[in-house]
Amino acid sequence: MSSPVYQHPDVARLISSALDEDLRAIGDLTCQALVPPTARLQATVTAKAPGVVCAVELFAQTLAQLHQRGLGTVTIEHSLPDGAVVAVGDVVWRAQGDANALLQGERTALNLVQRLSGTSTLTRRYVEAVRGTRAGIFDTRKTTPGMRLLQKLAVTSGGGRNHRIGLYDQVLIKENHLALMGGARTASPAAEAVARCRAQLGGSCLIEVEIERLEDLEPVILSGADIVLLDNLGGEVLAEAVRRRDRVLRPGMRLVELEASGGITLESVRPVALSGVERISTGELTHSVRALDLSMRCHPL
């Protein structure tokens, strides 16, 4: 089933902007010189590296926008769904139709699908690395401007989970917010910040708070935090945080999840997961990903 993300206006705007970068008001000079208006091609996209694909549907959306700009139609014959695992040589997408549309949409679609598939592939590696532990792999807001919804989708296609989408859907209290907490009424500015957010935003708002010392853990839990972020702390400290959290919770209290973050890599993620935290977040899934190598080849009809 297609994700509703593909119908979001942000996605249409992203594709339109990418096409404008390539075509501007002049269009494709190479096609104008070499490709007759009636020419037809069959195009096949194959994997040149193993991985997990995501957003293959963007080929169809790119071609649809080119059709709206006056180019011919293309019929899609094969398209892999989000999360499909591919090996070298596997066919990811195949279509036939207007040669100008296929050639002019090729790079825009490949740029998006390769990058998003790279995120799905890397996420799957992280998920496999923590298999057997209680930890889930989460993304961050360290995304490419304009691509956030698609990059968040790519993380879930790889088996990961989404952190907040933006500033509007969850509270995350960090050290720069706590810098404004002068005159806090308690010994824990982090706990005071949680209490203020809870009073202002109500019981249904998800509140996460970052702490840098374990002494703040019990106060922020008792102040109403839903998630506690432990940034750049080693495995032993994380394990101690889990023990302290478990001692604070009483029968009938909801679980306050612990999230580890900061400098997480594929090499270090499993020891972090073995500490017992429920969440591990890393910006690497979206800001430093290597695109999955895909190639499109065309043949005349």
**Residue 234's pLDDT is what?**
84
Coil, helix or strand at residue 68: helix
Burial class of residue 183, CB neighbours in 10 A (0-12, 13-18, 19+): exposed
| Residue in 247, 197, 196 with CA at minimum distance from that of residue 217 | 247
Give me the catalytic one of 142, 164, 196, 244. Answer: 142
Residue type, 278: E
79-88 mean pLDDT? 98
pLDDT in tens, 265-301: 999 999 999 999 999 999 999 999 999 999 999 999 9
Q: Residues 94, 107, 125, 244: which is the catalytic one?
A: 107
Those residues whose C-beta lies under 8 Å from the C-beta of residue 292, and which sit 6 or more positions away, are 47, 49, 51, 52, 53, 114, 117, 118, 120, 121
**Annotation says 142 is catalytic:** yes
Q: Which of 22, 231, 240, 257 does the annotation list as catalytic?
A: 231
State yes or no: is 231 an active-site residue.
yes
Structural domains in the chain plus CATH codes: 4-127+289-300 (3.90.1170.20), 132-287 (3.20.20.70)
What is the reported pLDDT for 186? 65
Position 187 scores a pLDDT of 78
107 given a catalytic annotation:
yes
Nearest to 71 by CA among 44, 40, 45, 43: 40
> What pTM was estimated for this model as a whole?
0.95
> Is residue 31 predicted with pLDDT exceeding 80?
yes
Cα 49 from Cα 198, distance rounded (Å): 48
- Tell me: the pLDDT tens digits for 116-127? 999 999 999 999
Answer yes or no: 48 catalytic.
Answer: no
Amino acid in the structure at residue 180: L
